[in-house]
């Protein structure tokens, strides 16, 4: 890649140019973000995963910019107007908007007032006016003079320095203004956006969620949204550039140019720069919303699993009953049934007998209950069943379960079962391993986003794919139990090879070593290099096959073990033996201290799931509906979604509570995601209850002090 771009990326990320250059070189070789950040630290100067992902983003953006530049230069050259200075200006620019500004005067355009004036032969007169060389414009034909002004106005609107000056004004001092659309004042849908019926705020200070809400209301034709600046300041900036380095015009010439400036601003520049500014503001808001979404998704995917336990899962319901499934320790469906413990059927005794029978017959270890309709009632019912000692009951989020149950992957996994059975299976598997199950669902359907349908969908998909890929590879995947849907997110493996791995496993039995991967169809040396370190084989003959140590470093570990006088198995298991190793002895150009440190850290935690342990959580037994809630109550709750303005929490009823950012701590909180995380369990005080709108306000202020006082 051009050093111009490399230097720019290095400045933006505040790293050395050689780090960026080597990172891009690895991308060009086909390496992935997880592989580079984990196994190529010496090449990149130990850039972390976030930095490597940022380099990739810039790399892809500048690759597209290069293609765009080539197309622009070709277009201008074909017009016979490409000068050396213009070529140099375009080739040396890293800002895509500036490149488009430079191309604007040469871009093929529809018929305009200026083009009509040129057709009438007013071009030479316009050139004189633009150069301030028209000393007595009042002597010119009025129609010709008007045409010349139209041409000059277009020239002004296409001037890169002028556009740059105005863009700066709008971005730094612009105010976003919204007003309710005529006739929509009492529209029920519009009332959801009544905060924006008469609203204004500096554009550079408006929170991302507020701007996205305004733009959503505009897309529904409920409000108008504009960006306003002081017109006098805008005209002043334009004139400063127009008159720059030109002869001092006569008063009459200046008057004509001034008229052209006014026309250029009102008719051409303001609408264009306003749209650009709003689009750029939305892009920033999109990035912030996507960042929040990505962080929420990461917390959701990395939620602690209950592990490989025989599971009974329930998708609760009233009229249609509760769908029940029994799963083995690997998540395979063993049995399904329906019980009716709630109104209107009320077959509680029969339901209890069925549950007891299934728990005994399938040696159930844990019970998962979906947290949707009838969840609390079902949980209360299950607790009345005489369960064997040690069987624990968990509430599991149903978000996206219906999407999964109707999806292609669900039909592929369970072609002979209906959506209700598939949904219950998904609930059970989420408890066993949230990551393995949730990767099958479009992240936008999981319920942890903020305006996810309004943001740039390509950017959203890029970020969410990166997040899922990062989570999958940070945890490590069991090669002998992972589904093809989980395997496709492993570094270097796509849908085709993932399917081939599962097919090979079905035909030949479990993988006994990582080397067996080389027998999988289309899985060559390059893919093996990228994926091997992220795949685990519990119980493999070589204990390193169940660690994040890459096969390319096996020889290094074997050398350490040999020097310590023990077999590899003893070296892997015995922390005392490893503590005596002097890592400096093993430093090489390929494996420096970062890699050696990673190897020792991995051996110290081998086989340990980085996601931690799951905990049983119980909601308050005092409340069954919003009518039971009173201000001042302290309620146990679970964070379900973190946004830029606060966090939504599940308190065990249909309505969720909101902890506004202003109520998250006794001190100022700028970023809610720095304070609360999805799945976090906590207690909060009720500060407001709006029965009409079904809203519950909660606060964490003073809670830490109260807990300390209780202790």
Residue 131 lies in a domain: yes
> CATH number for the domain including 360?
3.30.420.140
Paired with 699 in beta bridges are 685
> Rounded to 5 degrees, what angle do the CA atoms 25, 31, 33 make?
100
Query: Residues 639, 589: one domain?
Result: no
pLDDT at res. 148: 97
Q: What is the DSSP string of 372-435?
A: STTHHHHHHHHTTS-PPTT-EEEEE--TTHHHHHTSHHHHHH-TTS-HHHHHHHHHHHHHH-HH
Residue 459 lies in a domain: no
pLDDT band at 707; cut points 50, 70, 90: very low
pLDDT at res. 711: 36
What kind and span of H or E run contains 700?
none
Query: Residues 102, 128: one domain?
Result: no
pLDDT at res. 557: 97
Query: Domain limits at 634?
Result: 626-710
DSSP assignment, residue 269? Answer: I
Q: Which of 272, 298, 324 is the last residue of a domain?
A: 298
Mean pLDDT of 158-167: 96
Give the residue carrying structure tokens 């050395």: 16
Query: Residues 541, 646: one domain?
Result: no
What would the two tokens of residue 98 be?
Answer: 């500036």
Residue 475 lies in a domain: no
pLDDT band at 633; cut points 50, 70, 90: very high
Mean pLDDT of 201-226: 95
pLDDT digits over 578-612, tens only?
A: 999 999 999 998 899 999 999 999 999 887 888 88
Query: Residues 510, 566: one domain?
Result: yes
pLDDT at res. 137: 86
Residue 467 lies in a domain: no
Query: Residues 136, 177: one domain?
Result: yes
- Compute the mean pLDDT over every residue in the chain, rounded to the nearest whole number: 94
Compute the CA torsion angle 533, 538, 539, 544 (nearest 10 deg). 20
Number of domains in the chain: 5
pLDDT at res. 705: 55
Interacting residues of 234 by C-beta distance below 8 A, sequence separation 6+: 166, 169, 265, 269, 270
Cα–Cα dist 420/638, whole Å: 26
87 has pLDDT over 80: yes
Q: Cis omega (within 30 of 0) on the bond before 274?
A: no
452 has pLDDT over 90: no
Residue 249 lies in a domain: yes
pLDDT at res. 136: 86
Query: Residues 599, 692: one domain?
Result: no
pLDDT at res. 606: 80
Q: Which of 377, 404, 432 is the last residue of a domain?
A: 432
Q: Which of 106, 131, 153 is the last residue of a domain?
A: 106
Helix (H, G, I), strand (E, B) or coil at 688: strand
What are the φ and ψ backbone dihedral angles of 495, each rounded to 5 degrees?
-60, -40
Share of the chain above pLDDT 90, in %: 87
706 has pLDDT over 70: no
Helix residue ranges per DSSP H, 92-185: 96-103, 113-119, 123-130, 142-157, 160-173
Let me know: does 230 contact 253? Beta carbons within 8 Å.
no
pLDDT band at 233; cut points 50, 70, 90: very high
Cα–Cα dist 329/407, whole Å: 24
Query: Residues 123, 248: one domain?
Result: yes
Query: Residues 558, 638: one domain?
Result: no
Residue 154 lies in a domain: yes
> CATH number for the domain including 646?
2.40.50.140
What would the two tokens of residue 642 be?
Answer: 């973190």
DSSP assignment, residue 108? Answer: -
pLDDT digits over 88-130, tens only?
A: 999 999 999 999 999 999 999 889 999 999 999 999 999 999 9
Mean pLDDT of 192-221: 95
pLDDT at res. 488: 95
Query: Residues 160, 182: one domain?
Result: yes
Residue 7 lies in a domain: yes
Query: Residues 573, 642: one domain?
Result: no
> CATH number for the domain including 549?
1.10.150.310
Interacting residues of 441 by C-beta distance below 8 A, sequence separation 6+: 400, 403, 404, 407
Residue 609 lies in a domain: no
447 has pLDDT over 80: no
384 has pLDDT over 60: yes
pLDDT at res. 709: 44
> CATH number for the domain including 32?
1.10.10.650
Query: Residues 102, 122: one domain?
Result: no
Mean pLDDT of 6-32: 97
Query: Residues 170, 93: one domain?
Result: no
CA-closest candidate to residue 267, choices 156, 162, 109: 156
Mean pLDDT of 343-347: 96
């Amino acid at each position: 890649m051009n050093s111009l771009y490399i230097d720019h990326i290095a400045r933006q990320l505040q790293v050395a140019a050689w780090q960026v250059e080597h990172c891009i070189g690895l991308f060009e070789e086909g390496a992935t973000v997880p592989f580079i950040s984990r196994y190529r630290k010496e090449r990149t100067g130990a850039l972390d995963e976030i930095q490597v992902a940022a380099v990739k983003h810039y790399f892809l953006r500048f690759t597209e910019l290069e293609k765009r530049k080539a197309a622009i230069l070709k277009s201008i050259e074909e017009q016979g107007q490409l000068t050396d200075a213009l070529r140099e200006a375009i080739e040396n620019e890293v800002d895509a908007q500036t490149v488009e500004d430079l191309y604007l005067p040469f871009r093929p355009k529809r018929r305009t007032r200026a083009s009509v004036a040129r057709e009438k032969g007013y071009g030479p007169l316009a050139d004189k006016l633009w150069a301030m060389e028209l000393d007595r414009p009042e002597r010119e034909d009025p129609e010709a003079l008007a045409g010349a002004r139209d041409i000059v106005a277009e020239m002004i609107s296409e001037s890169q320095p002028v556009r740059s000056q105005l863009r700066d004004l709008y971005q730094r001092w612009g105010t976003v203004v919204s007003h309710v659309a005529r006739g929509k004042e009492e529209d029920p849908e519009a009332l959801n956006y009544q905060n924006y019926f008469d609203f204004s705020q500096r554009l550079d200070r408006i929170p991302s969620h507020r701007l996205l809400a305004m733009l959503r209301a505009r897309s529904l034709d409920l409000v108008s949204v504009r960006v306003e600046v002081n017109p006098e300041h805008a005209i002043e900036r334009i004139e400063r550039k127009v008159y720059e380095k030109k002869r001092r015009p006569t008063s009459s010439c200046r008057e004509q140019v001034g008229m052209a400036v006014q026309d250029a601003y009102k008719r051409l520049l303001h609408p264009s720069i306003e749209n650009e500014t709003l689009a750029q503001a939305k892009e920033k808001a999109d990035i912030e919303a996507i960042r929040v979404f990505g962080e929420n998704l990461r917390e959701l995917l990395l939620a602690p699993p209950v592990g490989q336990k025989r599971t009974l899962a329930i998708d609760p319901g009233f009229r249609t009953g509760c769908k029940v499934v029994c799963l083995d320790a690997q998540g395979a469906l063993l049995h399904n049934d329906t019980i009716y413990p709630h109104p209107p059927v009320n077959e509680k005794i029969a339901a209890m007998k069925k549950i007891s029978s299934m728990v005994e017959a399938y040696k159930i270890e844990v019970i998962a209950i979906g947290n949707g309709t009838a969840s609390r009632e079902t949980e209360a019912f299950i607790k009345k069943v005489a369960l064997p000692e040690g069987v624990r009951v968990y509430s599991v989020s149903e978000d996206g379960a219906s999407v999964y149950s109707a999806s292609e992957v669900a039909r592929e996994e369970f072609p002979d079962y209906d959506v209700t059975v598939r949904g219950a299976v998904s609930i059970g598997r989420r408890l066993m391993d949230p990551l393995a199950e949730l990767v099958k669902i479009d992240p936008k359907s999981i319920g942890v986003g903020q305006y996810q349908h309004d943001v740039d969908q390509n950017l959203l998909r890029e970020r969410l794919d990166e997040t899922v890929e990062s989570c999958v590879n940070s945890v490590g995947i069991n090669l002998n139990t992972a589904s093809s849907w989980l395997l496709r997110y492993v570094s270097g493996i796509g849908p085709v090879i993932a399917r081939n791995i599962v097919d090979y496993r079905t035909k030949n039995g479990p993988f006994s070593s990582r080397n067996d991967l080389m027998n999988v169809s289309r899985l060559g040396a390059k893919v093996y290099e990228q994926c091997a370190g992220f795949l685990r084989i519990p119980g493999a003959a070589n204990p390193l096959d169940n660690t994040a140590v890459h096969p390319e470093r096996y020889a290094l570990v074997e050398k350490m073990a040999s020097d310590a006088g023990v077999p590899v198995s003893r070296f892997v298991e015995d922390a005392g033996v490893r503590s005596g190793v002097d890592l400096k002895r093993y430093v090489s150009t390929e494996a420096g201290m970062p890699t050696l440190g990673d190897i020792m850290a991995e051996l110290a935690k081998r086989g340990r799931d980085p996601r931690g342990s799951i905990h049983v959580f119980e909601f308050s037994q005092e409340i069954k509906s919003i009518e039971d809630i009173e201000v001042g109550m302290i309620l146990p709750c679970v964070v379900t979604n973190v946004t830029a303005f606060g966090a939504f929490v599940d308190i065990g009823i249909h309505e969720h509570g909101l902890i506004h950012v202003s109520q998250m701590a006794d001190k100022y909180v700028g970023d809610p995601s720095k304070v609360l995380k999805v799945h976090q369990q906590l207690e909060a005080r009720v500060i407001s209850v709006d029965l009409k709108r079904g809203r519950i306000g909660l606060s964490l202020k003073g809670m830490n002090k109260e807990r300390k006082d209780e202790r």
